[in-house]
Amino acid sequence: MNEESYIRPPVVAGMFYPEYANELEQMVGQLIDGAKPKRQKGRLVGIIVPHAGYQYSGATAAHAFALLKKEKKRTVVLVGPSHREYFDGISVFPGASFKTPLGAVEIDVEMRSALVKASPYVQSSLAGHRAEHSLEVQLPFLQIAMRDFKILPIIIGNQRREYCEALGTALAEVTKGVDVLFVASSDLSHYYTSDAARKLDSIAIASIEKLDFATLMSDLDTERTEACGGGPIVAVMFAAKKIGADVCDVLHACNSGDVSGDKDRVVGYVSAALWKIH
């Protein structure tokens, strides 16, 4: 297989989101139209969004994606965790595009090349991308909200501090002077009672609201809080602050029990927007 011409097919259509284009477009459109997020007067630099099935976290994610209806970004940099494949380091997708039921989204190959050169920890590889859902589920929202854009899909294998901060540094370097959008894909705590999850999640959310990636990383390392994509959040906040982001709005937070009614084993969700105001 020629990796550079590889078009990644959708792997969770029909599971995490509808597999038919008309049903998917209708669902995402309704979720975005139903969200009424606060919009700052500055420049939107990045968002943090969950990545569960749309029936659980779609409304939370929509609060961030609704901000994109007036945005025109050349490239969306997607950063997520690897759920199904362990590898050391950071993997940027080597192929030509990602496909969803709504069509194919082209990869920014120039930015990919620059990112690989910018950090020894970043490799152009399919590692982590083959069956991963954390980036794929963001694409239909982007396709409905923005229409015309390229993507740079990145998966962090080992979410150690050194890798997350190195990725943040490299992303700030290769996106300097380019109007990009960073997207960190992460759910929060997993499988606690709803009350316990709210307490754990509130710790991560407090750091996110302060753009305090250092405290968030420390709290993740010591298990004071949890987030399956905590490393991607840290990397995106690190990069966003380096290019001028100075305000973070937490837009919506809940857990799966708020949707399903099952309060015994829940997954936490948050969406947030990173702005450059001053």
In the predicted model, is pLDDT for residue 57 greater than 80?
Answer: yes
More confident residue, 4 or 119: 119
CA distance 59 to 46: 18
Average pLDDT over residues 71-83: 93
CA distance 154 to 135: 8
Indicate the pTM of the whole model.
Answer: 0.97
Closest CA to 158 of 91, 236, 108: 91
Helix (H) or strand (E) holding 184: strand 180-185
Helix (H) or strand (E) holding 79: strand 75-81
Residue 144 has which token pair?
Answer: 């409905």
- Percent above pLDDT 70 for the chain: 100
* Residue-wise pLDDT tens digits, 208-223: 999 999 999 999 999 9
Strands 97-100, 103-106: pairing is antiparallel
Q: Which residues contact 67 (CB under 8 A, 6 or more apart)?
A: 37, 39, 44, 47, 273
Is 167 strand, coil or helix? helix
Q: Please tell me the predicted confidence (pLDDT) of residue 1.
A: 62
* Residue-wise pLDDT tens digits, 231-240: 999 999 999 9
In the predicted model, is pLDDT for residue 8 greater than 80?
Answer: yes
Q: Please tell me the predicted confidence (pLDDT) of residue 63.
A: 98
Band of residue 278 on the pLDDT scale cut at 50, 70, 90:
confident
Which amino acid, 157?
A: G
**CA 160, 164, 170: angle at the middle one, nearest 5?**
145
Task: Give me the residues paired with residue 254 across strands.
Answer: 269
* Residue-wise pLDDT tens digits, 145-196: 998 899 999 999 999 999 999 999 999 999 998 989 999 999 999 999 999 9
Range of the domain at 116: 3-276
**What's 189's domain CATH number?**
3.40.830.10
Residue 243 has which token pair?
Answer: 């290019």
Domain count, the chain: 1
Residue 257 has which token pair?
Answer: 């029990």
Separation of CA 112 from chain center? 17
Is residue 225 exposed (0-12), middle (13-18) or buried (19+ Cβ within 10 Å)? buried
Residue 32 has which token pair?
Answer: 């975005």
* Residue-wise pLDDT tens digits, 115-145: 999 999 999 999 999 999 999 999 999 999 9
Q: Please tell me the predicted confidence (pLDDT) of residue 265.
A: 96
Say if CB 269 and CB 56 are below 8 A apart. yes
Q: Please tell me the predicted confidence (pLDDT) of residue 203.
A: 98
Range with the poorest average pLDDT among 56-60, 96-100, 259-263: 259-263
Is residue 109 exposed (0-12), middle (13-18) or buried (19+ Cβ within 10 Å)? middle
Residue 240 has which token pair?
Answer: 């966003």
